[in-house]
Structure 1
Amino acid sequence: MAIPGGSPNPYLQPQQPHPYAGGYSSYPPPPPPAPPAGGGRGGGVPGWLWGLGGVLLASAAWGGVLLATGGLGGGDRPDLAGYGTTDDLCAAADVSAFEDSYSIDSEPRAGTFSGDRLEKAVCDITLTPTGDENYNSVYLNYEVSWHRGTDPAPEFADQARSSEVFFGNELELTVEEVSGLGDEAYLVTFAEESGELTWAVLSVREGWFEAHLSWNAFLDTPEYAELVEARSVTAALRTSAEKTLVALKE
């Protein structure tokens, strides 16, 4: 049950899986490859390549924003709220909120970008329901940005709310403001007509630092109905985000 999409905007995701995107990395992941004839989980392009492509595309998009807004020459000092950069976001990404229901399917993959005015890091993690043998998967993607050239605050809320305009008539979509995380935070969720949650992203801004944590499900077996229940998914996302942000503080 993939979600449609494709846009460097973290909220304007799905419609058509982007060939260079994975997990959340500014794009939703493609559907898992069909199992090989001999069984097993092999085949397809490694997930970390999808995520790394998303980083590069998102970074290019941000570079255009900086040039268009004059951020490169701005006099504002970046407020990174004490969040230190990292070469391996997966070392900080906390998945403990999902451990009761899932196991990690493969080695988490990290990617980074470091520019003069923007640094980004991503971590892609693939989970499978404990004991599953039917190729069901959940993709977690952690993406963080340290803005040094322009303040993301003026556009942060609009980025979240804009998803209602672009996808509100096509999908069961909700946008909620979340209290108690950073300076501001938003939760955007997409669901099937049946009500099953298929994709969610929790975004947090603190100063000039941004974090996005997304969950994208490919769970087609009826026994996994509890795993796509919105309340449990969003609670796990919040717990994971809180613990990951603590780990990233200097």
Structure 2
Amino acid sequence: MSTPPQSPQPADQPAPQPQHPQQPAVPPQPTAYPYPHPQSPPAGAFHAQPTLVGQPVPGQPQPQPGNPYIPQHQYGPVPPPPPAAGGAGRAVLWAAVGAVVASAAWGAGVLLVGGKSDSADLRGYSAPSNLCSSADYSSFKDEYTENDSSPTHTALKDEALDESYCSLSLKKPGSTYADAYLTLQLDLHKKTDPAPEFTATWKNYGESHTGYDVDSVEGIGDEAYLVSHDTTNGSSSGSRYATLAVRDGWVTYTMAYSTYLSSYDEDKDPPALTDVSDWLKTDAKATLRQLRD
């Protein structure tokens, strides 16, 4: 008995494509730069670029920084979805976000050394060229004892804004890859009072970002807000974020912590957000005192 001929595949019908599991969505995260992205000027506008110190050259391939994670909200890139558990997954995550950090740091664009103005209320602050070595983050060192040997820091001085930025990887004892990340940013606004936009951005953060808790913090600067987000819910996956944003006169300072549970080994748990919040408050107060000396 002969086998009936098979119907040929229509020439205009595309071959079926393999299906890939969809990665879990990662919610947007608070950023240390809460103002519109300055990398997109109006059409036809050209502006001279300020002199940068330690800043990547646009359009050139950049080396991967040792601690590349920078949390961003709606004005910046969203962090990638959490990696698979284990060292290989962590390596893929931190390598991927390295490019995000390089572009985000360039986009935020203004980092610096102190500035003074007759009208700006800078309260005696100066913006150091290396915020990583000038800031206090000692509260995190009991949990994360391994030092970051190559933290990312950038600095720039501009007539309108001086800014210092630092990104640190946080490692528990014996960890090969980062278990969490800490980013710090200090801005000296020398031409414009940041108070209205600062309050609108941080006080109302929960209204435009579902699932975020916003608490007003007393005793730090003129106003401060703690923004936090926890998607772990007692499971073995999810993420934890906490950002403390402070305004003192025309100076703003942010400290942001972030971690994925998949970045931790199974026998290790990340600290509770209540502990992280206390560490952020303690270290922000200490840093602001130091930067006024």
TM-score normalised over the length of structure 1:
0.74
Tell whether 2:287 aligns with 1:244. yes
Within 2, Cα distance between the matches of 1:174 and 1:43? 26
Correspondences of 1:78-227 after superposition (within 5 Å): 78-102=120-144, 103-132=146-175, 135=177, 137-168=179-210, 171=211, 173-192=212-231, 194=233, 198-220=240-262, 221-225=265-269, 227=270
Within 2, Cα distance between the matches of 1:154 and 1:76? 20
The answer on whether the counterparts of 2:182 and 2:256 sit within 8 Å (CA) in structure 1 is: yes
Tell whether 2:28 aligns with 1:5. yes
The answer on whether the counterparts of 2:243 and 2:254 sit within 8 Å (CA) in structure 1 is: yes
Within 1, Cα distance between the matches of 2:150 and 2:100? 14
Tell whether 2:101 aligns with 1:58. no
Is the deviation greater in 234-243 or in 216-225?
A: 216-225
Paired letter, 2:229: F
Within 2, Cα distance between the matches of 1:121 and 1:11? 14
Paired letter, 2:248: E
The answer on whether the counterparts of 2:247 and 2:253 sit within 8 Å (CA) in structure 1 is: yes
2:274 is paired with a residue of what secondary structure? helix
Within 2, Cα distance between the matches of 1:7 and 1:242? 20
* Matched pairs, number: 222
Distance 1:29 1:249, change over 3 A: farther
1:53 is paired with a residue of what secondary structure? helix
Distance 1:50 1:110, change over 3 A: farther
Cα deviation, residue 32, structure 1: 8.1
As a proportion of its length, which structure holds more helix?
Answer: 1
The match for 1:77 among 89, 113, 119 is 119
User: Which of the two has higher C-alpha Rg?
Assistant: 2
Paired letter, 1:175: V
TM-score normalised over the length of structure 2:
0.64
RMSD: 3.6
Structure 1 regions of 5+ residues with no counterpart? 13-19, 61-74
As a proportion of its length, which structure holds more strand?
Answer: 1
Cα deviation, residue 99, structure 1: 1.1
